[in-house]
Amino acid sequence: MNNTAPASTHASTDRDSIDREQLTRLSMTEWATALREGRLTAIECLEVHLERIAEANPRLNAIVTLNPLAAEEAAAADRAAAEGRSLGPLHGVPFTVKDTLATKGLRTTAGSPLLGDYVPEQSATAVRRLREAGAVLLGKTNCSEFAVETHTRNPLFGDTWSPWGPGLTSGGSTGGDSAAVASGMSAFGLGTDFGGSIRWPAHCTGLASLRPTVGLVPETGLLPYLPPAAGESLPVPNSMSALHRLGTVAWLARSVDDLGVLLGILAGPDGGDPSTVPVPLGGPVETLDGISCAWFEDEGTHPVREDLVAAVRRAAATLNGLGVPTTHGRPPGLERAAAAFVALRTAEGMPEVVELASGREDQLGSNLRNTLLGAEPVSVADYRKAAAERDAIRAQVLGFMEQHNILLLPVASVPASDPRTGSFTVSGQDIPWTELGSCCRAISILGFPVAVVPCGLSREGLPVGVQVVGRPYRDREVLAVAAALEREFGRFSPPSPSPRSED
């Protein structure tokens, strides 16, 4: 089964010979070019996506709230084009947003009955910047409740499934966006990544994703928070929170080029989030000169299936063939990183959710309710100890990266799987579903930029993503390596038409 499409494949965008199926596989930048050159109107672009939503969303359950003003926004983009005005680099391009990011005038629930009717008065900074760049908001996508599970399901909207096959997860917690983008319902998706919430979904559905250096993109407007009173601003992200110190707004798309365009739009302080820093990122990195690479099979505690390791090995060999010095070896200390991430996350708990749920705990989904009610209080001293362990690991890995400035490793122990499977046996070791993403958690603790790019298929014919990790604020360098791999392995698309999911 061949599900790859070369990166050089471009769909015809002439009005008289529109191939709808090809159009749904265009990258964000290809859509933007077609709109800018007048080969399609924004309304035509929106109609293509709405038709695909009508076809695929009942099976996949990816988009949970449509924007009723999307047609009005697309029409405004066409009027501006007719007057010779561009609304920005994303003029008329439709996108979706994870339901944990506030959208002005559009329901934002975080997948929880606690926020089932919440309609923000303001948008998250990242959402606002995309709309100011001319993008058209299609709607909100499903996520696990308050973004804590690795499969996308919640008490409000149920499960989201992958377009790659029945009963397969699209990942979590940004699984709604990954299913929407992979199936052609959206040109790109805006989500978040704390412990792998953008990388695991990209791996599951054959997409490219970027988790930028933590601190580049403001998290203002990211749930959980207590909804502000009428007329009040969105709350400022807490700079002491592990969620904001280790997580970030992140995004996925069908092409690495898309990731870089979005980075240029989204990065930079907003005057609200105190953790966001003004770092000049520069333009795209055009060559791989000065880059060296180390690759490894896993993060040191949970093994990865051999066919997924083979994808990392092929990626390393590809870079070596392009003149990038490549070494096989894992940074010292990384074997402690996933545990350090869990320790910090557990130590903090979810205080905003606890406060939001006070007296209404019965409205939470059972998994989240059990997690919150079973949590033991942790002292400030224990939190400081966990933070010190994180800093020590980070220093060790940075020292290693003085010689190997790019790291390659798997995303997860297995490809997309049935979320009803409790555990997997890999290399003789039993790995619970909740531990499949240890390779992601190990990188999350560092706060470094990391892209995911698909580099082959598993033995089942499912996409296999590879993490490309760089040094802090070297996001453009990471994207240059990811783009080189994409040129070699091509872009990946699920079988068409999308298969029906199992209930």
Which amino acid is located at 402 in the chain? Answer: E
Tokens of 294: 């180390």
To the query of whether residue 98 is one of the catalytic residues in this protein, the response is yes
Q: Report, in this order, helix, strand and coil percent for the chain, each rounded to 5.
A: 35, 15, 45
CB 344 within 8 A of CB 386: yes
Residue 496 is a catalytic residue: no
User: Which tokens go with 157?
Assistant: 């909207």
Catalytic residue among 183, 197, 413, 493: 197
Alpha-carbon distance of 495 to 484, in angstroms, equals 25
Between CA 500 and CA 211 the distance in angstroms is 30
List 98, 162, 170, 186, catalytic entry: 98
User: Residues, the chain, total?
Assistant: 503
Taking the C-alpha atoms of residue 242 and residue 238, their distance in angstroms, rounded to an integer, is: 9
Q: CA 473 to CA 313: how far, in whole Å?
A: 26
* Catalytic-labelled residue, pool 123, 170, 173, 493: 173
C-beta neighbour count of 376 within 10 angstroms: 7
Q: If you search the block for the tokens 């990626």, which residue do you land on?
A: 315
173 is catalytic: yes
Q: What is the DSSP string of 201-225?
A: HHHHHT-EEEEPPTTSS--TTBSSS
Alpha-carbon span 242 to 230, nearest angstrom = 28
Distances (CA, A) of 140 to 84, 208, 252: 31, 20, 15
Q: With contact defined as beta carbons under 8 Å apart, do 171 and 205 qualify?
A: yes
Residue tagged 């302080």 (tokens): 269
At 340 the three-state DSSP class reads helix
Q: Which residues are catalytic?
A: 98, 173, 197
